[in-house]
Copies of this chain bind each other. A is one copy, B any other.
Amino acid sequence: MASERLPSRSENYADWYNQLVIQSELADYAPVRGCMIVRPYGWALWENIQAALDLRFKATGHVNAAFPLLIPMSFLEREKEHVEGFSPELAVVTHGGGQELEEPLVVRPTSETIIGHMYAKWIKSYRDLPVLINQWASVVRWEMRTKLFLRTTEFYWQEGHTAHATAEEADAETLQMLHVYADFARNEAAVPVIPGRKSDTERFAGAVHSYSIEAMMGDTRALQAGTSHNLGQNFAKAFEIRYLDQENQLQYCWTTSWGLSTRFIGAIIMVHGDEKGLILPPRLAPYQVVIVPIFRNETEQKVVMEAIDRLQAELAGIRVKLDDRDGMTPGYKYNDWEMRGVPVRMEVGPRDVEKGTVALARRDRPGRDGKAFVPQAGIGETVRLLLEEIQQSLYDRAEAFMQENTHKPESYDAFKEVVQSGWADVWWCGEAACEAKIKEDTKATSRCIPLDQPDGEGVCIHCGKPARERALFARAY
């Protein structure tokens, strides 16, 4: 409910974000430190994200399954980099059914190990490959500094885990899923992203190559919004995932994993939101249209509600919320739904009914500019087109913002300046030492080496050594 005022987005972005998540009832803090409750409005948004992704996973041949939450501690230890990366973040079950356990179990921080163990059991021959499984689940990674959706001890995600006969297939899968994420981000969430390869420093613990999509938030900081990992044969060797090839030779599989989480909700909030609150992209919004009836007495109420009944029938297939709460003024409701980011508000009063019109107000253009009186006739089609227009307009605005704030500094001094309030797109040598120094100087890290690279080469923005690739550097969430 819009009972409190939001902190100013331009003056205090962090407070604006934290308060907005709570006030819009997307999520709340749990009694266990670092955990969150995803409230019904937030979960409805996540369900729409799930549906959009799941459709794409199934269209690319994947199936869903469910693997256990509890993993023997020894499993993690089988892949050296993996256990080093995850040890500090583990939640450990030491007692079960009133007894101390012989071997402690960890609550899954990610499932490569337990899935690897099962794949080793299931995969016997080349005929069993590829295995293309995804699961929707929550995972637990102990976090010291948490922020709702962006970094919580428990979070919700999907994790895809695939096994292939060849390195080429695993590579193609890794990139395919990166493109699936980019397509989802752009076309469903209206969030422009840059797909690219992570630096060695930023690589997933146990991967050969990690890829990500990176999005620019409203404060110009970067957010890693989805990742896809080529695991090579690292996990296949650690878990003995092998198959008999067509010549009856035993071969190790090549595996991948890829994930996108409720963190993405944070991206949607920060990419589109404004001083008034959330702006949800129509394709994912729990409610695409909110109808606010306006009347001063019972006679008017009757007339207005009858018209709304007819309008609702015309809006079939669109996610509509009728706000018929008693004891609240229309103005209060307008503010409430603006804060909660519903893309279109439909106002219906007695004069509208008389004239056969309704008022439609666009959330992405608050104020008079975004409000129009349209005929009730053909309202379904009118609203459908408007929702599409808003979806496109949100994307265009975010894309323009990302372009404006992505710079190509030619000197390290210029670099240091631009990354304080934007992204730097620069030639980079790719070395970890160089990256560490940049981070020390500026707090900016390499976000990714974009897949889309120019011809030619240059010199590293920091060390001046020859550089064959351009990288994006930015301060990140």
Assess the B105–A96 pair: CB atoms within 8 A.
no
Assess the B40–A64 pair: CB atoms within 8 A.
yes
What residues on B are CB-neighbors of A66 within 8 Å? 37-38, 43, 46, 138, 156
- Partner-contacting stretch, out of A67-75, A349-357, A371-379: A67-75
**CB contact list, A93-121 vs B, under 8 A:** 93-98, 104-105, 107, 114, 117-118, 121
Give the CA-CA distance A42 to B36 in the complex, in Å: 30
Assess the B118–A72 pair: CB atoms within 8 A.
no
Q: Contacts A40-B65, A89-B97, A92-B93 given: A70-B35 contact, CB under 8 Å? A: yes
What residues on B are CB-neighbors of A118 within 8 Å? 28, 30, 37
What residues on B are CB-neighbors of A433 within 8 Å? none
Give the CA-CA distance A70 to B47 in the complex, in Å: 22
Assess the B90–A97 pair: CB atoms within 8 A.
yes
What residues on B are CB-neighbors of A6 within 8 Å? none
Assess the B92–A95 pair: CB atoms within 8 A.
yes
What residues on B are CB-neighbors of A67 within 8 Å? 30, 37
The answer, yes or no, to whether A303 is at the interface (CB within 8 Å) is: no
Assess the A37–B68 pair: CB atoms within 8 A.
yes
Assess the B144–A97 pair: CB atoms within 8 A.
yes
Choose from B32, B39, B68, B142 the contact partner of A68 (Cβ within 8 Å): B32
What residues on B are CB-neighbors of A42 within 8 Å? 65
Give the CA-CA distance A107 to B30 in the complex, in Å: 14
Give the CA-CA distance A67 to B67 in the complex, in Å: 20
Task: Kindly provide the distance from the CB of A262 to the nearest chain B CB, expressed in whole angstroms.
Answer: 9
Which residue of chain B is the closest to A131 with respect to CB atoms? B40
Assess the B96–A93 pair: CB atoms within 8 A.
no
Which residue of chain B is the closest to A99 with respect to CB atoms? B142
Assess the B37–A65 pair: CB atoms within 8 A.
yes
Assess the B107–A72 pair: CB atoms within 8 A.
no
Assess the B69–A140 pair: CB atoms within 8 A.
yes
Chain A, 105-149, contact with B by CB distance < 8 Å: what is the 0/1 string? 101000000100110011000000000010000101011100000
Assess the A71–B37 pair: CB atoms within 8 A.
no
How would you classify the secondary structure of chain A's contact residues: helix, strand, loop or mixed? mixed
Q: Contacts A31-B75, A64-B43, A72-B31 given: A107-B93 contact, CB under 8 Å? A: yes
The answer, yes or no, to whether A180 is at the interface (CB within 8 Å) is: no
Assess the B64–A39 pair: CB atoms within 8 A.
no
Assess the A142–B94 pair: CB atoms within 8 A.
no
Choose from B92, B98, B122, B138 the contact partner of A69 (Cβ within 8 Å): B138
What residues on B are CB-neighbors of A69 within 8 Å? 35, 69, 107, 138, 140, 154
**CB contact list, A77-92 vs B, under 8 A:** 87-92
What residues on B are CB-neighbors of A88 within 8 Å? 97-98
Chain A, 426-461, contact with B by CB distance < 8 Å: what is the 0/1 string? 000000000000000000000000000000000000
The answer, yes or no, to whether A315 is at the interface (CB within 8 Å) is: no
29 residue pairs from A and B, CB less than 8 Å apart: A30-B67, A30-B68, A30-B114, A30-B118, A31-B75, A31-B117, A32-B68, A32-B105, A35-B70, A37-B66, A37-B67, A38-B65, A39-B65, A40-B63, A40-B64, A43-B64, A44-B63, A46-B66, A68-B154, A69-B69, A69-B107, A69-B138, A90-B97, A90-B98, A91-B93, A91-B95, A93-B94, A94-B95, A107-B107
A-B pairs, 9 with minimum CB distance: A97-B142, A40-B63, A92-B95, A35-B68, A38-B66, A30-B68, A96-B142, A94-B94, A43-B65
